[in-house]
Structure 1
Amino acid sequence: MATVLDRVESRSGEERQSELLIGGRWRSGSDGRRFTIEDPATGLPLCEAVDASPADALAALDAAVAAQPDWARVAPRERAEILRRGFDLLMADREAFASLIAQETGKPLAEARGEVAYAAEFLRWFSEEAVRVHGRYQIAPDGGLRHLVSRKSVGPCLLVTPWNFPLAMVTRKVAPAVAAGCTMVVKPSELTPATAARFAALMTEAGLPAGVLNLIPTLRAEAAIGALLADPRLRKLSFTGSTRVGRLLLAATAVNVQRSSLELGGNAPFLIFEDADLDAAIEGAMQAKLRNAEQACTAANRFLVHEAIADEFLSRLGRAFEAVTFGDREGAIGPLINRNARDHVHALVSDALARGARLITGGDLPEGPGHFYPPTLLADVAPGSRLLDEEIFGPVAPVQRFACETEAISAANATPYGLAAYAYTADLDRALRLQDELHAGMLGINTGLVSDPAAPFGGVKHSGLGREGGAEGIEEYLSIHYAAIGRASPRSLDAFQDRTTAAA
């Protein structure tokens, strides 16, 4: 069986010999353990990866700590140029990255290409933000002091990324860390480590110094991450994943009071009002529900449709779902990531049907190979159904009806999550009310896509802390420092005036 780094070659064709990148060197794990990565489209083994131990994780932190002082002193323009070279290299190598993403995640090649383009934009965006880290100088209100406020690199970071966007979630964290002057240990998902490894090799080629980016794929995530968070030299955690795991990690960061950015689960409502452009709403629903087979935290989880147009919406969305192809690499949607994910989705559908939901289309388990699940539409889903409360992470659309705006907003907010929401309406005043009243960090009005590297990504309530992307994204990797400067003594002022007079 091929190793994962048989697929991660330098641009000169030199084959890497190991999957752990520590201190600028590709190396084997300390205890020789490995694990197998499966192709979700076939259910067959794809390749192997080195399984980093807790000792390897601490070695990666040693390298990040050693590199931090010099890296923090690198000029912002130089860090920007490294990110820009990374963008150029990634775009030049986009087909190879797209092919690797398609293999590891099972997503169709067209979607994988879209992810590469999206991921690259984080490198370009933060190359521009690297030179825009501002401070402040002001006279104190009473005139007695001068205030000097500056921003500095937080320090060594742990970046934990998920499998559903194995390149974009890495660049969304690595790019601002590089721009801010932070070193890092990257722990990619054990389901998709090859994409992260290829990206790490690319950033080395772009000129990132040894030890700035260290990579530790592992099956022993709890032990490896636990060892890192227990070390006070680590100063920040950025995690994308489930709310359950996020809570545990947040508790662990409390011991050393580490800075934390958490992008957690979602339960996005998709509201369609009676004045909506139904053609646009169907298009947006397809985008928000079926992108990456709905394996995205921003995916529309629940559809709330005004009762006056609910029947027409169900009929049209049902036909659109039935026209979607799946089951092979050329399909419009790919498989779920593994068998457990597919079984979970099917259990949610079965629960809703048992509670009285009406099946419009889909809902059956297709024969193999792979972990595919058909686009499924459920009408009149009863309150209390699991898929209204849990993140589905599969191509299943539960639909409920509402009679008025107040009822729709109440239903949309009836969740502990608050990442994304969507709404279709022609009423501008209503759109502004929704921005005020919906409990979501991101809102798509008449669009099924909210993610943009130039915009702040993140949620409220149990959906996390902090923001990624936008002008706000780099702030997560900077600490604020303030100096109070007293007025110079008369002697100092005389000396200063003498020097300036002499210079004139």
Structure 2
Amino acid sequence: MKTLHSTNAAAADDGMLNRLLRLLKGNRSMSATLTPARPTAPDQATFAVLNPSTGEVVGYAPNNTLADLDTAVAEAQAAFETWSKLPDAELQTYCERVTSAISAHAEELAVLITKEQGKPLNGLGSRWEIGGAQAWAGFTATLSLPVKTLQDNNEGRVELHRKPLGVVGSITPWNFPVMIAIWHIVPALRTGNTVVVKPSPYTPLSTIRLIEIISEVLPAGVVNVVTGDDKQVNLGAAMSAHEGIRKIVFTGSCATGQKVMQSAAESMKRLTLELGGNDAGIVLPDADPKAIAEGLFWGAFINNGQTCAAMKRLYVHDSIYDEVCDALVAFARNIPVGDGMNEQSILGPIQNQMQFDKVKRLIEAAKSRGRVLLGGEPGAGLFFPPTIIADLSQDDPLVIEEQFGPALPVIRYSDVEDAIAAANDSPNGLGGSIWTSDVEKGRALATRMECGSVWINKHGAIQPNAPFGGIKQSGLGVEFSEEGLAEYTDVQVVFS
């Protein structure tokens, strides 16, 4: 593996990050150095990464060029020649080593995520994210796609083989920089592919460190990383069009996913696109408001609402509307919000200014059209408290658009048929949920929701043994489990 043109590492107030980015350039190792308290970017070859809780510079990441991308792809192609021929059991062993390597560096990675992403160490924060990365890596290591016999009789034998594609390009977002990278990387490795990863410019440091850690247990060139600020060079677009990359795995917005699909068309790349969602939750009249309040809150506000599969719209039956609103607010008002490095914080800031401005715009519009039950006013910097706004309508911007932040609109309904129709009235179709005391009724209604995943009495609870993906404009293909693993392979049928 080569981390290309890497730079000075993170400024840290503890000893842990002093070890960040023992950077590689060619065959020459370089030690990371601390940035000064008020650092400036050394040159245009790097860009600053900011802590959204404080606005301070965490460190610098390389502004890689198209030539750097070509080098990374070439190294991955060279490594593929050997890696793709390894026995299945050996690929599994390597993936198990990757899992162990993440575990050995769990706290280091968690601290770095908090410093550049903003989420707290505790709660469903960065330590939880690293735990998820370990769980997904460990489970994926156990999966396999053995040869499948389709026919074996006097007319002949027919076998279905799964073959690795080649170089996989992974483009990851800023909301879960390590866990989503693992979602992309480990199934690619498990099926004999090599990888080039391009993280978000908002959160590149934890991904660089992750790649360095796992590369210590992998052969050279199997996993590579390139980073950039997307201002001088759009590396993501270049990856999508690169002739040497056989597949793109992208997690991010619908608009960017459409561009990835367009630029990948000429080279007929395989694609897995996990895009935006505007997930709806429907509370039936038989639900217990106090019993579901905590689940509703975390379904909507996990990672400060900055989650594709978070609940973005809540439809509540008229008969228990006020009780649900009261119970939800009572739970939400006790959630500590603050600097992610504070062990008492459970929610942190919005990750970046662009997303903050969008959330603020949607909340301002909603305040004049609905009833603010909690929050509604921004805090200092990028902090915005959990905001719940009731009495909104289907055509309000906070209901129509994916807010991707700590704001939840609550919509009243009286007929469940209207609620199902409203939930499905969206170009997105990632996830949805039904909240009820009658699980069988919930399952029946779940099948009528137009989305890739539906949960009963919870929301967003993805797991590595269940396929996950969207329908409509929320994506293409699935991740996780055997179905997700198969998307990293070509099918070859052998007749004999």
TM-score norm. by structure 2 comes to: 0.90
Q: Look up the match of 1:4.
A: 9
Distance 1:136 1:119 in 2: 30
- Indicate how the Cα distance of structure 1 residues 308 and 137 shifts in structure 2: closer, same or farther if over 3 A, else same: same
- 309, 334, 339: which is aligned to 1:328? 339
> Residue type matched to 1:123 in 2?
A
Distance 2:494 2:152 in 1: 12
Distance 1:328 1:383 in 2: 34
CA displacement at 1:23 relative to structure 2: 9.1
SS in 1 for 2:487: helix
- Indicate how the Cα distance of structure 1 residues 302 and 128 shifts in structure 2: closer, same or farther if over 3 A, else same: same
Cα pair 1:267 1:419 within 8 Å, conserved? yes
> Residue type matched to 2:383 in 1?
F
Q: Look up the match of 1:120.
A: 134
- Indicate how the Cα distance of structure 1 residues 257 and 45 shifts in structure 2: closer, same or farther if over 3 A, else same: same
Distance 1:120 1:344 in 2: 33
Distance 1:440 1:478 in 2: 25
> Residue type matched to 2:436 in 1?
T
Q: Look up the match of 1:81.
A: 93
SS in 1 for 2:495: strand
> Residue type matched to 1:76 in 2?
D
SS in 2 for 1:120: helix
Q: Look up the match of 1:56.
A: 68
> Residue type matched to 1:211 in 2?
G
Q: Look up the match of 1:225.
A: 236
- 234, 252, 256: which is aligned to 1:241? 252
Pairing 1:32-431 to 2, within 5 Å after superposition: 33-110=45-122, 111-129=125-143, 132-139=144-151, 144-205=155-216, 207-220=217-230, 223-329=234-340, 330-354=344-368, 356-366=369-379, 368=380, 370-431=381-442
Cα pair 2:102 2:214 within 8 Å, conserved? no
Cα pair 1:269 1:412 within 8 Å, conserved? yes
CA displacement at 1:101 relative to structure 2: 0.9
Distance 1:27 1:411 in 2: 56
Distance 1:45 1:109 in 2: 19
Aligned residue pairs total 473
Q: Look up the match of 1:499.
A: none
Please identify which structure carries the higher helix content.
1
Cα pair 1:106 1:335 within 8 Å, conserved? yes
CA displacement at 1:394 relative to structure 2: 1.1
Pairing 1:464-475 to 2, within 5 Å after superposition: 464-475=475-486
Cα pair 1:21 1:214 within 8 Å, conserved? no
**Residues 63-111 of structure 1 deviation map (CA, whole Å, 9 limit, x = unaligned):** 1111112110011111111211221222222111111111111111111
Distance 2:258 2:152 in 1: 40
Distance 1:37 1:438 in 2: 40
Distance 1:460 1:27 in 2: 46
TM-score norm. by structure 1 comes to: 0.89
- Indicate how the Cα distance of structure 1 residues 302 and 105 shifts in structure 2: closer, same or farther if over 3 A, else same: same
SS in 1 for 2:49: strand
CA displacement at 1:26 relative to structure 2: 7.9
- Indicate how the Cα distance of structure 1 residues 24 and 146 shifts in structure 2: closer, same or farther if over 3 A, else same: farther
Cα pair 1:304 1:400 within 8 Å, conserved? yes
CA displacement at 1:6 relative to structure 2: 7.5
Structure 2 unmatched ranges of 5 or more: 1-6, 33-42
Larger Rg: 1
Distance 2:287 2:26 in 1: 53
> Residue type matched to 2:345 in 1?
G
Q: Look up the match of 1:492.
A: none
Distance 1:234 1:85 in 2: 25
Cα pair 2:241 2:267 within 8 Å, conserved? yes
CA displacement at 1:312 relative to structure 2: 0.8
Distance 1:69 1:24 in 2: 24
- Indicate how the Cα distance of structure 1 residues 201 and 434 shifts in structure 2: closer, same or farther if over 3 A, else same: same
CA displacement at 1:5 relative to structure 2: 6.3
Cα pair 1:241 1:265 within 8 Å, conserved? yes
> Residue type matched to 2:136 in 1?
F
Structure 1 unmatched ranges of 5 or more: 486-504
Query: How much identity, in percent, do the aligned residues show?
Result: 32
SS in 2 for 1:309: helix
Distance 2:400 2:334 in 1: 28
Distance 1:442 1:23 in 2: 45
CA displacement at 1:145 relative to structure 2: 3.9
**Residues 354-398 of structure 1 deviation map (CA, whole Å, 9 limit, x = unaligned):** 3x21111210121x2x31101111111123211111111111110
Cα pair 2:137 2:186 within 8 Å, conserved? yes
CA displacement at 1:468 relative to structure 2: 1.2
SS in 2 for 1:397: strand
**Residues 308-351 of structure 1 deviation map (CA, whole Å, 9 limit, x = unaligned):** 00011111212222222213333221000122221211110111
